[in-house]
Amino acid sequence: MEDILTFPHGMVGFPEYKQFIVHKDADLEPFMWLVSLESADLSFFVVDPFLFFPDYEISLDKVRCLLNSDAELALIRVYVIVTIHEDFIRSSANLLGPVVINSQTRKGRQLVLDDPRYTTRHPLFSKLLDDIARAETG
């Protein structure tokens, strides 16, 4: 099946699961599901981080090295795992553990970044939350 992605090292905390698909649902855009084909109970809610964090940076050289690929930037897909909170506006993204996929080879890997600018619970709507906080104190 062409849509199957292989993660030779699995995901962080789930090394035994290596086959995934990205499931897109028009009702959830821009969010998607990264779904394990080996466990019906394992899926991750993901999003393209650049939609929410245009200044987000990861080293393309590191990505190429970890994917064992010299792929062009256009072939690399980057996602971050999202934690949805009951109060949706407080949902967060794991910017320290991006998921990178070579769309040509269909291989992926979850990176572990060492960058103090990012957290595992980076607010998706930080600007909106800041605006709300200012309105409440203003």
Which tens digits make up the pLDDT trace of 68-103?
Answer: 666 566 778 999 999 999 988 889 999 999 999 988
pTM recorded for the entire structure: 0.85
pLDDT, one tens digit per residue, over 22-34 is 999 999 999 999 9
What lies within 8 Å, CB to CB, of 119 at 6+ separation is 95, 96
Question: Does 10 score more than 70 pLDDT?
Answer: yes
Q: Which of 43-47, 80-84, 128-132 is least confident?
A: 128-132
**99/110 Cα distance (integer angstroms):** 4
Give the domains, in start order, of the chain with CATH numbers.
Answer: 5-137 (2.30.290.10)
pLDDT, position 20: 97
